[in-house]
Amino acid sequence: MTDAPAEVDWEKLRGVAREAMSRAYAPYSGYPVGVAALVDDGRIVSGCNVENASYGLGLCAECGLVSELQRTGGGRLTHFTCVDGESQILVPCGRCRQLLYEFGGPDLLLETPAGILPLSEMLPQAFGPGHLTKQ
């Protein structure tokens, strides 16, 4: 059973991502990113990228999002959007697709420049938690 609404307000979700993007700490790349997702209990979680003087240690916006998801009670991500510094819809990077797979699975819906797509199309043949429990 899910408490997520049948009709998802992508515009509202994008607004939350934009707000998160405005809080990004991206002095090195100059490329702020914001993300937001709907959880299967109706919560909305969000995140922004947080960079570091040790460049490779920068945190993508999705890291903040999954951290908030877990901290505020867990659950499954059902709908996800990502925006750049100009509030344009952005695709999540490869590593973050894996993060999203862990907490949303193949049916997670992503807003992309090519429309609404399931994660199974953005990360085909994904390696995931199921592989670790296979005999």
21 scored as a contact of ligand THU (CB under 6 A): no
Q: Is 111 known to be catalytic?
A: no
Name every residue whose Cβ is closer than 8 Å to that of residue 115 and which is 6 or more positions away in sequence: none
Nearer to ligand THU, 41 or 120 (CB): 120
Can you tell me the distance from the alpha carbon of 25 to that of 50, in angstroms, rounded to the nearest whole number?
5
The secondary structure of residue 42, as a DSSP letter, is: S
Selected from 17, 37, 38, 49, the binder of ligand THU by CB under 6 A is 49
Can you tell me the distance from the alpha carbon of 28 to that of 90, in angstroms, rounded to the nearest whole number?
19
List the catalytic residue out of 11, 51, 62, 111.
62
Nearer to ligand THU, 36 or 61 (CB): 61
Cite the active site residues. Answer: 62
